[in-house]
Chain A
Amino acid sequence: MAEQALSDLRIVDLSQRIAGPYCTKLFADMGADVVKVEPPQGDVSRTMGPFPDDEADPERSGLFLHLNTGKKSVTLDAGRMPGLALVKKLLATADVFVESSGPAVMAALGLGYEDLKSEFPNLVYVSITPFGHTGPYKDYAGNSITAMAMSTIMYNTGDPDREPLTTGGAPAEYIAGIHAWIGALSALAYREKESAGQLVEVAMADAAACADEYNAAMYGFQGAIRRRFYSRHVFGYPMDIMACKDGHIVVIPGAAGFPQRGLPQDGAVSPMALLMGNIEMDQQPLFQSGQERMIRWREVDELLQPWLDEHTKEEIVELAQALRMPFAHVPTVQDLVESEHLQARRFFQKIGHPRAGELTYAGHPFRMSETPAELSCAPTLGEHNSELADE
């Protein structure tokens, strides 16, 4: 096995559900020794599924298996004395501690940052909560959808005459986990310079709001309040998912897809006209004005949709890409697993598990030339109890 980027680190992880476990999965898949401390009944995500044949089984929850690759599991009741002593014994060997219960619960357990900082001055203490440790909402509860609501992203997603829509896949949980991972790595870099650990706290609502593209800025720089309009960008049309003969594709003509009035390529046939095999299209007023396209978008649809309805996803995207337009597919998870491109890049990982069998898992989010990530199976509940008790 090649050496991994984070293989000198030990992480003690009391977090549950998605955000904290995704943070520590990023450490584990890059070689860190992640000790997952689970309550006797296990991480809540062991109950969240999906399960084979929909039969609940804490060892076969798809979400748990996905989020906990490469970790060790010990079960103990951190609220009771022997459990607390064992957590502290683990912390003596740890570089990073991750929790997602919040400061009140952790203080009650005797595991708050203030309780631990003098005993473990070099420890990086990572806390992930819905709204953070400070501010008027600090004691409020939340999850991915409440963070997406706060972020301005949700208000701008969906149809204009319907309710705002959250993005699928619990994204704010993942984003919070990523920010906690960045925060922990930053604090480790700080520790090397200043020889001191510290508290790193991440609010899920803040993390989702960091992803805002320009909703707050449109008000702060213009006084404009943007509103959902079929999830459309304000600076061009079309740039959207549209139906075609056999499904959906993303139609993105891009910066050079329509005729470029006054620029050097003026007079050439536009890529969109070439795509549709109809050079007359360039004479359409709607092909010539980006501002008109944004306002008279229904007429744009009337021009494009009949052609899209007669062509397949594959035909349209291949030809558009050959014309250097960034059209894209809208794959299902099955399409992703079967994608020749992702297969050629060996993105997906087949990993065996003693109870769940061999499954296909999402790969690491990036490739490193010298220290490639390695995914291995998630632990069964308490699998490493005796190993860690013997340490």
Chain B
Amino acid sequence: MTLGQNRWLPHLILLVGVVIFVFPIYLTFIGSTHTAPTIARGDMPLTPGPEIVDNYRQALYSGVGERVRGTPAVMLLRNSMYMALAIVFGKIAISLLSAFAVVFFEFPGRMFFFWMIFITLMLPVEVRMIPTYAVVANLGMVDTFAGLTIPLIASATATLLFRQFFLTIPDELVDAAQIDGAGAMRFFWSVLLPLSRTNIAALFVIMFIYGWNQYLWPLIVTTSRGRETIVIGIVRMIGSGESATDWNMIMAVAMLALVPPVLIIILMQRWFVKGLVDPEK
């Protein structure tokens, strides 16, 4: 359907788009391969420098440079990874169970409970930050792993997605399972869970990125350096953004912060696109 149109124009516009999206990551990489003084003088070349190994080693294992007193990136990466995985598995587990209950059981208050979960879609963690912090503080969970992850686990999005998928499962399948003598939980494990694989993969990608990229909540809930996530850690390293700081190390940490989620999105693109775009929203 490009009758009479310029064949090269779409490619040209797309290439400009790609440059705008790839340029910053390229410069970040370049920044992570030069020395701090080279960058601070403002004459960083546009080609990779020789300091790549030293910079990443410093970022990963020390986190401390001339000006920056940061946390070693291995620790930051570990904290982010644990947080993201806890959020992902927590969200998927509780959402599978609650969607299963809402779709396959008849019980008093079914729709009421469904709406109770549904309405949480409207309250991002940011708006209820301070009262949620108060709850977490009362439970003694400030600066703990539980306090960091559990408030982020409740997920209307995942529940809605599984509910929608479960509604498309034909009644005959349930009949067949019941005739074969399978109880509810057996049906869940042996029929429903294997059928949900694609949806689980899609949610895995979306929720991993959501978890890895959390900012405001970790910022207020974690107080000790040892629990900092990499997104928080890097912003703390920048401080007020002076010219003469350890930009080489900061850029190495920036690369380390963006590689895991970017790899996941690129490797699992098919499921990610399906999970994000397909469900009727």
To the question of whether A and B form a pair in one complex, the answer is no
* Partner-A contacts on B (CB < 8 A): none
The residues of A with any CB-CB pair to B shorter than 8 Å are none
